[in-house]
Amino acid sequence: MGRLIQSVRSRLHSVELRGIHIPHNKATAELPTVLMPLPSQVILPMHMHVGAACTPQVKRRAHVDVGTLVGHSDARMSADIFSPVSGTVKEIRSLHYSHGKADEALVIVPDGEQTVDESVRPPEVSDYVSLVEAVRHSGIVGLGGAGFPTWLKMDSDLSNIDCWLVNGAECEPYLSSDYREMVEKPDDILRALTTCLDLSGVPRAQICIENNKPKAIELLRVKAAASDPRIEVFELPARYPQGASRVILRNVTGRSVPRGGHLTDVGALLFNVTTMGEIGRFLQTGMPLTKRRITVMGDAIERPQNLEVFIGTPIGEILEFCGLRSEPRKVVIGGPMMGITQVELDAPLTRATSGLLAFTNELVDSPKTTACIRCGACIDNCPIRLAPIDIQKAYQRRDVGALDRLMADLCVECGSCSYVCPAKQPLAQSTRFARAFLRAEQRKAKGRG
């Protein structure tokens, strides 16, 4: 065990970060984004982001307009929530997620007018402080799936930041919403990125795109060269999970984040490409985050497409709009590798969701699990060279010390280990549980200290 842990530690810092080659299945990539009509209602959970939940700012039967502030928290780590429709607050009710947690949610019935709130106007931005403050009141969070408040990421110590990275990898199979952002809204991305560089003093930026997206690479390369020489387009190998923050940082800059650290500790900021585009639109219009683009796909979907959807739209109404070939066996929020299975179809689309997938039995039947054959495939294909099978066994023993030595907390939960395992061991699930268990035990230990 000791030699294995030392080997993992040394490889983590000396070997190029790896990954796996998986089918991309991006049949919607060249389909332009379609605006979905107004839903029958929108359901806005007050916890659609990392950090503290918001408190409703309106009461039942209140009238709201597009862009009306409906959720706010005084906590530093939070993100305001805005109405995507004009209409009436039908109710404030409890909402239960598929993972079992409950949340408070506003239910708003649209009036069809889409009247814009009078407070919506382009922000006045003159320096970096005012830029961060403006984004703080935009409702923008990490739109690649993380949901971290964007303003808080921007409000970092920039004294050692020398590169602003924009993540356009979109390595998850099926999803093409970020790709459509790049080919449909390149000016919004560049507007935001140029503004961020101008006001922050960060000297350069790199838009990082997998090389299986040549149209996006060429378009952004030409536009960036014409508008701002500080912005470079970096081609990444098409390899999963290329878009994971530690992976993209290592493969673009050669830098590694120390354990327990952040990208800013090694001189970089990283934003999702759609997040950056949303900042560009907000700076121009003042409209907070009320809609987002998602990819709707899967073998159960009649008309796969990229949709611009009002945040809070019930999932069932999205599936109805796209049509179903047959009753889906599984509906997934996000991509097939890191997404979460959805139980209730009347649950809403939240702002960090980039994909909605519906599959039949043929694609989701679970394979039979057999004994580990010690082939090492999970280690060889882990993007940061952890030992998933040993983490699984340590977790089964609830061995906190071993999990710490095996660095289970560094898992990016990409699912590569389960994908390559010939024994079909549930390694990704076990490592996710192990990571959560280790962090909980570490918090307990600090509390006792």
Q: What is the pLDDT of residues 4-53, one digit of tens each?
A: 334 433 433 433 556 788 898 999 999 999 999 999 999 999 999 999 99
Q: What is the mean pLDDT of residues 164-183?
A: 96
pLDDT at 331 over 50: yes
CA-CA distance, 49 to 284, in Å (whole number)?
24
Using a 10 angstrom Cβ sphere, with 0-12 exposed, 13-18 middle and 19 or more buried, the burial of residue 283 is buried
Q: Sheet of 291-297: strands edge to edge?
A: 34-35, 305-310, 291-297, 355-359, 330-333, 340-342
pLDDT of residue 98: 54
pLDDT of residue 446: 83
* Closest listed residue to residue 304, CA positions, set 313, 312, 314, 294: 294
Tokens of 16: 């190029």
Q: How far is CA 26 from each of CA 159, 182, 296, 305, 355, rounded to the nearest angstrom?
A: 40, 15, 11, 10, 12
| β-strand partners of 405 | none
- In tens, the pLDDT along 336-379 reads 998 888 888 899 999 989 999 999 976 677 778 999 999 999 99
pLDDT of residue 5: 39
pLDDT of residue 449: 54
Domain ranges of the chain: 36-120+288-363, 128-285, 370-448
Q: Band of the pLDDT at 111, cuts 50, 70, 90?
A: very high
pLDDT at 402 over 90: yes
CA-CA distance, 115 to 38, in Å (whole number)?
13
Name the more confident of 338 and 185: 185
CA-CA distance, 125 to 209, in Å (whole number)?
29
Q: How far is CA 14 from each of CA 33, 163, 256, 387, 395, rounded to the nearest angstrom?
A: 42, 22, 9, 16, 27
pLDDT of residue 340: 87
Q: How far is CA 344 from each of CA 315, 341, 431, rounded to the nearest angstrom?
A: 8, 10, 26
Question: How is domain 128-285 classified at the architecture level of CATH?
Answer: 3-Layer(aba) Sandwich (3.40)
Residue 149 near residue 50 (C-beta atoms within 8 A): yes
Question: How is domain 36-120+288-363 classified at the architecture level of CATH?
Answer: Roll (3.10)
CA-CA distance, 333 to 340, in Å (whole number)?
5
